[in-house]
Copies of this chain bind each other. A is one copy, B any other.
Amino acid sequence: MTEKIKVALLGAGNVGSQAARILVEDNATLAERIGAPVELIGIAVRDTQAARHWDADPALYTTDADALIDAADVVIELTGGIEPARTRILRALQAGKSVVSGNKALLAKHGVELQAAADASGAQLSYEAAVAGAIPILRPLRDSLAGDRVTRVLGIMNGTTNYILDQMDTTGASFADALKDAQDLGYAEADPTADVEGHDAASKAAIVASLAFHADFTIDDVHVEGITGVSAEDVAAAEADGYVIKLLAVCERDGEGVNIRVNPTLIPRSHPLAGVHGAFNAVFVQAENAGELMFYGPGAGGAPTASAVLGDFVSLARRLVLGGPGVPDTSYVQLQATGLGNIVSRYSVGLLVEDKLGVLSNLTRILTEHGISVESLRQSSPEDGTAMIRIVTHSAKDSDLRRAIAVIDGLDTVREITSVIRVENN
């Protein structure tokens, strides 16, 4: 066996604690697979006395992250947030130390800068844990599909929102009740904003799009819409038409560019993603030659995410032992992130209208004038002089649909546009 590999761990939260546990408890197996002894030399934390999910030797905890990084061969960053994570990772990479990170927010914002620092010093940077927890998705996109051309990625990449939408679908619960249920079970945080507004999924979408299309995208390239506006009525209407509503991250070729969006989406119940229940994640990939692939598994959780972290660690440590340069992430090309205007899809539109003669023909006339044809239309009339209308359109350009909706919204007979949700075909 060659020289020992010294590992610095930054962070001892849910994932960090599990990574520490595996580094200690499975040390012999890791060493065998890497071909060198491995030593966890320290764990950088803000408070060395805090309670942990798993307690390492107390002597390992330190508040001096910089000194720990300087003493290590490999740095595992599991603190989350932009700073001080960014500065610390740069410190490691610039010193030629390889880094494993699970920090999706940081990578979606500053991934280009971090990768450049790694390439400049010959260090390796891996972050499988940043997307979809334990599910291997970044390596398959980068390596296994390297000889193919990805055309579209559809991902359920946030377990909290999938749990909420699944509850709404199976029990008929409202968004508020399903959210409360998710919070009671620990699937959602007290402040659920990052999950339910789609920001968490948007970070992952930017990372996935970069690897899938071999180009640089950041979270600022992602169009985001959360699930707070999804009502029990939307879910029931989708079910009646054979669909289920999921918060999908969609990354797809759009002419010469790539469109990246996170939004509530209707998918047919026969679609493989429709069967992804609870807090599970799944990523559905379409490629020119491979066809349709799906990757499914736990999208979060300490041990599953730590599994992805340790997989990255073993892979890059093997390379350290063998010598020679790491394989840089990809040869990137220039690709523009596109706006939503040219995106063509079907839409499910919900409206609350006055229950009067001529309202329907007015609606369909306006849609037709904007080049939008109606695939199905259903109406239900409460006894209060109003009617709920649900229209599913044929494929239409987003910009045409938005213009038609603006006109419809101005009609005297329309009380409210209750929802506009994209429908993904297979």
Partner of A298, one of B30, B139, B291, B312: B291
A59 within 8 A of B: no
Partner of A311, one of B22, B128, B134, B144: B144
How many residues of chain A are within 8 Å of chain B by beta carbon? 60
Q: Which residues of B contact A304 (CB under 8 A)?
A: 289-291
Of the 9-residue stretches A110-118, A316-324, A340-348, which lies at the interface with chain B?
A316-324
A315 within 8 A of B: yes
Partner of A331, one of B32, B145, B287, B298: B32
A61 within 8 A of B: no
Contact between B292 and A33, CB atoms less than 8 A apart = no
A29 within 8 A of B: yes
Complex: A309 Cα to B289 Cα, angstroms? 11
A371 within 8 A of B: no
Of the 9-residue stretches A146-154, A241-249, A259-267, A404-412, which lies at the interface with chain B?
A146-154
Contact between A289 and B32, CB atoms less than 8 A apart = no
The verdict on A33 contacting B315 (CB below 8 Å), with A145-B136, A296-B296 known, is no
Distance in angstroms from A283 CB to nearest chain B CB is 11
A80 within 8 A of B: no
A161 within 8 A of B: no
Partner of A290, one of B33, B290, B297: B297
Distance in angstroms from A20 CB to nearest chain B CB is 13
Contact between B289 and A303, CB atoms less than 8 A apart = yes
Contact between A128 and B146, CB atoms less than 8 A apart = no
Complex: A311 Cα to B34 Cα, angstroms? 24
A310 within 8 A of B: yes
Q: Which residues of B contact A319 (CB under 8 A)?
A: 327
Partner of A136, one of B33, B144, B149, B314: B144
Complex: A214 Cα to B30 Cα, angstroms? 12
A313 within 8 A of B: yes
The verdict on A314 contacting B146 (CB below 8 Å), with A290-B308, A295-B295, A307-B289 known, is yes
Q: Which residues of B contact A64 (CB under 8 A)?
A: none
Partner of A307, one of B135, B287, B296, B303: B287
The verdict on A314 contacting B147 (CB below 8 Å), with A291-B301, A322-B324, A324-B324 known, is yes
Q: Which residues of B contact A312 (CB under 8 A)?
A: 147
Complex: A386 Cα to B136 Cα, angstroms? 53
Contact between B297 and A291, CB atoms less than 8 A apart = yes
Distance in angstroms from A282 CB to nearest chain B CB is 8
Contact between B147 and A128, CB atoms less than 8 A apart = no
Interface residue ranges of A73-123 to B (CB < 8 Å):
none
A-B contact pairs, 12 of them (CB 8 A): A26-B147, A136-B143, A136-B293, A144-B308, A147-B310, A147-B314, A288-B303, A290-B304, A291-B304, A292-B297, A293-B296, A324-B325
